[in-house]
Structure 1
Amino acid sequence: MRKKNSVAPSLLHLFPFNINKKIFYQIKNINKFNIITATIAMSLCIYAIPEKASAACAPAPANGVTTTCDTSSVQTTTLGTGPGLDNVAIDVLPSAQIDTGEISAISLDSGSAITLQENAVVQNASHAPADSGFWGNGENAIEFNNDTTLTVERGAQVQALGTAYPFANGAVHIIGAGNTITNHGLIFSTGGPAIRFETNVGGNTLDNYGTIAMSDANKIVIDSEYTNGVVSIINRTGGRIFGGILFGTGNYNITLEHGSVY
C-alpha cells in the first residue's frame, strides 16, 4: 500500500467562482471565526440526533441484494465487507439509525446505491489507525469504490465522530470513480475532512443542498489532494459548506448557486 504523506498546499487563497484549480483552500478571517463557529453550532442543532429508537438491517448485504434498515433496534455492526461486494442497495428508512462505534458503518465496492431517508442516522466514532479497515483507509462511516450513489435526504445525517486523519476515519470516503453524492441533510466529521475523493481516473460528483461541515471551519472539509480524476461540486441554493476544499492534479468544477454558503 502506498504511503500517503500529508502535503501542505503551496497556494492558499479564497476561491469564489473559479474552476480547474489544482489546490484550493479557503482560509477564514480570524475576526469571522466566532461568527462561523456559531453558525456551524446552529446548523448542528438543526440536525440534533434523536434518542436511539433505531435500526436493525436485514438481510445482510450481498451481491445483488437489497438491505433495509428499520427502527426496530440499533444496527451496531458494519454493513458490507468492502472489496468485492457489488450491486448492493442499502435503504435506511426514516428515523432508523446505524451506530457502529469504532468500525465502519457501511463498506461496499461498486455499482451500489445507499439511501438515508428523512432523519436517518449513519455514524461511527473510530480511533482506528489510518491504514486499517476494509479498504486500508481507516474506519470511515461510509466508504465505497466505483459507480455508486449516496443519497442523504432532508434531516438525515452521516457523521464521523472519532479521531480523523487526513486520509482516514472520515464521514464519506470514495476510492474510485463514477460516484454521485446527493446531500440534503448533514455530512459531518469531528477531526478531518468530511468527504474524501481518491480516484486517479474518471470523475465524481457532489451535489449539495444541505450542510457539509467539520468541527473546525478553518480546516479542510472536502479533500481530493491525491486525485487525478475529475471532481464536480455543486453547492445549491441553501446549501452550506463550512471549511476548505483541497484539490489535487485533476480537473475540478465548482458551481456556487445564488444563496448558497461557502
Structure 2
Amino acid sequence: MAQTAIISKRALENLDRTVYTPKQSQLKARTLFGSYKVPAGTKTYTYRTLTERGAARVLANRGTDIPLVDADMKETSQGIITFALAANYSVQEIQEAQLAGINLDATQGQAISRGMADFEDRLVFTGNPDSNIPGLTNLSTAQNYAFPKSVVGDDPKVILNELKEAREKITQLNGYEDVTPVLALPAGAYDALDVPYNDYQPTTLIELLKNRQWFSQIVKVNELQKADNGKKDMGLIFDNSAETAQILDAEPITRQQTEYRNLTYTIPYSEQCGGLIVRAPQAIVQLKGI
C-alpha cells in the first residue's frame, strides 16, 4: 500500500487566508454633496428663502410716486427619518468563529456599513416616498431637459449640443453665470460619451467635454438607471454648492444596545438623515430620455 494513503486530503490542501468579496459599485452621494448637521433627534428641518424685488425709476421734481421694494419670505420643511440594520449571531456561531479565527464583529460590521450607505445613497438620488422625502430624480421643482432620442448610438456632435443646451438652463440663470455644474449619468449614457467625436480626430466626446470645462465633474451614478418613473434612465446636471443642496444629517451610524435572547445576540445600528435638502431647485436639471 502507498504511504500517501495515511495522509488526509485536508493535509494536502492549502487554505488561502484572504477572504474575497464581490466588487460593489462606488457610492457617489457623499462625494458630490456636503453635509448640513442638526442635533440628533431632530424630526424636521426648516429653512427660509428670501425673494427681493424692486426697480428704481426717474423721479420728477416734487414727484411722489416713489417705487417700493418688495420682499417675500418662504419657509420650506423637510422631515428626518431613522433607518436601521442589525447584526445577529448565536453563541454557537461566536464559538465557531473564535475557533476559526474569524472576527464576527468586523465581518458583519462591514456589511452593515455598506447596507446603511446604500440606503443613504438611494435617499439622496431617489428619495423615500413613504417618508415624503424627495430625491434628485423625483424633485418636482427641478428643471427638465428632454432628449429627443437616447444618447446611446447618437451622433456625438448632437449629444454635445444637447448637453450644452441643458447646461445653459443653469448657467443662464441670474447669479449662476460663473457656476460649473456637475454632470451625472447612468452607466449606458456615460459609456456612450467614450466615442471619437468625429472621423478626423481621436479625441473622445468625454475628453472634449472635460477639455471645455463645462462641468466640474462627469460621474457615473448607478441610481440613475431607470430613475425616470422606474422605466427609463435619467441624467442630472446640477450645482453642488452648499447654497444649492446639502445632505441633511442628524446622527451618523450609531451602534445601539446589544439585545440578548434565546442564546442569540442582536446588535442594531441606526442613522438619522433627511436625504438631500435642495434650497435652489432651479439649479437642478433632470435629463429625460437620455
TM-score scaled to structure 1, two decimals?
0.20
Tell me which of the two structures has the higher relative contact order, counting C-alpha pairs closer than 8 angstroms and 6 or more residues apart. Answer: 2
If you compute each CA radius of gyration, which structure gives the higher value, 1 or 2?
A: 2
TM-score scaled to structure 2, two decimals?
0.19
